[in-house]
Structure 1
């Protein structure tokens, strides 16, 4: 069944669950209202609910459906399969799909999965995941979308509180970066692959830094492993910009007490290994999904030229100024690709309401970057564990956003695709920007006492 408009059932279950979740959120707020962090709790909760509903509304009444409704349709069919044959349901849930082959336990009573979704394992995984929640929403699209909004809000909130526990950045700036970016709110809240990948990304990064800080529990390890698995089966290319920066930070941390020569050599070796791993990714990394096959150069060339020339893709395109993607151009366009991800579309490039919002957002990022360049005043702070953790995390932010921004800018081609894929970059870019607006110089008070 194709979903084309909100139904009475949608509104009923959406409102019912919204009332329930709102009451729980309000109760949580009043329980912690003396904690200054919680001034952002309810605004963030309702922001996520609003952005999730807005995404659903735009997709249904502007685009006439799309990925989000196909994910819902897949979950609806899986639920029908469960009621008809629980064994077949669990077989489908825990076994990989065979591309081009739809099992015969799907029939007229259960419905047939959308072929274009079923043939993409990462997309069908979102349907499987959605089916687990869909049992509680009684096949209501808006109800399921609300579940995604609430779950993603919980994960973003936990990530915000974790960062606020050690970053030497004002709480309000951490909140702006992690909780209230429009692009992230729109694309990473509702029933979307982006929501699953982005939330898993936050869980993994939070888990890795808790382990680095030795503040982890058994559940931290479990949630981190689950997050890694979710990223692997949805947007596996995100693993590389996580792993490389974290590996470099680990090397820097482990040899921090060594003599200068040993420290220099081991860090150079660590950086070289990280660079070689990126080279491996570019040349032969089949596990990185849509960003690579046997050779990322060929794949990037196919994606880029397809988006540039195929009239079947609707939406405004951008051009990096290259005629084809090869090893030479992949290096030459590094600055342009990164700048495109971080700062485009420009305001004058917008041709619809969503792009206009992206343009305003990009303009703010440009102004903030100019603010970094112009600001020269330093604030001297003593070295502490928090300042060390902040420096580690800022190094991670820089490396993560540069690596991911490059590949996103290189392969997106359309502004609509760019907006979706660059969403995970933006919080880390803003965190770095806010850390630099007040330039900090750390002094070791033990050495100067």
Structure 2
């Protein structure tokens, strides 16, 4: 091994030659094993054609992240978390009881004192922070399994986190199977999600947790299957979000309640009943969300409802510090400590999270890649508005339950990240949980707009109410010969006779 740099408590740090060899074997094994799995499922689930490419992209993203942060940045949060995990792993070999106690969440000063120069020490600023300590604990398990290899640990977490994303992707495909390829772009192939969501970072864990949450809720309440396993997934994903990034749960939970309520409301046919039920449902959504978030106050810590405003103001003020971030920061404007002031930043903050840094704001290679991706996202957004028109865009977003949840989550999440993270380096990383939902929503709206135009040109009726549960039924109609195309062909043959 050629040492790359020196780290306090840990000495010279580098990537050993055997790590590269083992990483290649790991990639090869996963490719061969899951190719077999893909081939077994491909006939009954055509979307599996994208399975291996998505997995390999995720694992190569983890490999790329490791190399960039070793050779280009020479450090970073991921390495700090990993080295903290290595220290915990060393502690496990010397004092297993103390290790288990810390794995249960004890990060007191007494616990930190258990570390010696023999075990190495976690950095205090990540050990004593409950959010980052959760990542250290997870990293310690990886260190035990990967022989203290940063490279292989990132490959492992990249592959494990992929399965939650894949599950959520399949959920959307179950509603819109005609868009399997387009949805794969949103969920599996977005460069920012691949790069920032494939390493030992809070973002990797929470991104996968969000995807598991959406998939599990759909399976439990809409598909009504897999009760035990799906409830387990809901519980674990909730714990991960609250442990690492509580604000994600604070946004996702109300959007989920809205999704469930709205699905019931839109199925009502009586207009008078809807007129009465809709306001009651809105009050119920707000009340349930408020009650649950208040009950979770101690778990949410500084993100609890009674302290959220102060947290937003302090975080925004810290991260906009030009002396620390220089030209890599942007300003959404002054926040004076009132909710009115925060909400007034919605347009500029949401725009920043969705589309910035612009390509001309990028000042290094990694930011330039993010700028190119954001340029594409901006172009796709404008194209969606052009194809669908503002009116149909809004109608589709409000008329289809899963689309309404996706758009709402993406926009509110973008606002939260944008208003608290006026720093491009953190912004491109923090926003990845909303990226697949936003991109997939755009593709769905484009498809529905084109489908509407096609049916109207054929002299057929188009009503969004018929697509509230997606467009999977269109494939069934085509297979059974009851679709409009088949009927027109039969009518044409009958007329010729």
TM-score, normalization: structure 1? 0.89
Contact 1:368 1:433 in 2 (8 A): yes
Unaligned runs of at least 5 residues, structure 2: 1-9, 390-395, 453-462, 468-497
Unaligned runs of at least 5 residues, structure 1: 378-386
Q: CA deviation at 1:185?
A: 0.7
Contact 2:335 2:342 in 1 (8 A): no
Contact 1:286 1:293 in 2 (8 A): no
Which residue of structure 2 aligns with residue 263 of structure 1? 274
Q: CA deviation at 1:292?
A: 5.7
Which residue of structure 2 aligns with residue 109 of structure 1? 118
- Distance in 2, matches of 1:26 and 1:348, equals 41
- Distance in 2, matches of 1:277 and 1:333, equals 26
Q: CA deviation at 1:331?
A: 1.8
Q: Does 1:122 align with 2:131?
A: yes
Which residue of structure 2 aligns with residue 404 of structure 1? 413
Q: CA deviation at 1:340?
A: 1.2
Q: CA deviation at 1:442?
A: 3.3
Which residue of structure 2 aligns with residue 231 of structure 1? 241
1:345 to 353, 357, 373: 357
Contact 1:241 1:399 in 2 (8 A): no
1:144 to 153, 175, 178: 153
Q: Greater CA deviation, 138-147 or 246-255?
A: 246-255
1:209 to 218, 233, 238: 218
Q: CA deviation at 1:310?
A: 5.2
Contact 1:77 1:110 in 2 (8 A): yes
Q: CA deviation at 1:204?
A: 0.9
Query: Structure 1 or 2: larger helix share?
Result: 2
Contact 2:397 2:407 in 1 (8 A): no
Which residue of structure 2 aligns with residue 24 of structure 1? 33
Which residue of structure 2 aligns with residue 373 of structure 1? 385
Q: Secondary structure in 2 aligned to 1:77?
A: helix
RMSD after superposition: 2.9
Contact 2:388 2:445 in 1 (8 A): no
- Distance in 1, matches of 2:414 and 2:401, equals 20
Q: Which deviations, in whole Å up to 9, do the C-alpha atoms of 1:139-180 show, x marking residues without a partner?
A: 111111110111122222222223212236511111011100
Q: CA deviation at 1:265?
A: 3.0
Contact 1:156 1:178 in 2 (8 A): yes
- Distance in 2, matches of 1:314 and 1:12, equals 39
Contact 1:59 1:65 in 2 (8 A): yes
- Distance in 2, matches of 1:61 and 1:289, equals 36
Q: CA deviation at 1:307?
A: 1.7
Q: Greater CA deviation, 355-364 or 290-299?
A: 290-299
Work out which of the two has the higher radius of gyration on C-alpha atoms and give 1 or 2: 2
1:45-64 map, 5 Å: 45-64=55-74
1:60-79 map, 5 Å: 60-79=70-89
Distance 1:315 1:388, change over 3 A: closer
TM-score, normalization: structure 2? 0.80
Which residue of structure 2 aligns with residue 382 of structure 1? none
Distance 1:2 1:224, change over 3 A: farther
Q: Greater CA deviation, 187-196 or 157-166?
A: 157-166
Q: Does 1:87 align with 2:97?
A: yes
Q: CA deviation at 1:182?
A: 0.7
Distance 1:257 1:279, change over 3 A: closer
Q: Greater CA deviation, 404-413 or 298-307?
A: 298-307
Q: CA deviation at 1:325?
A: 5.1
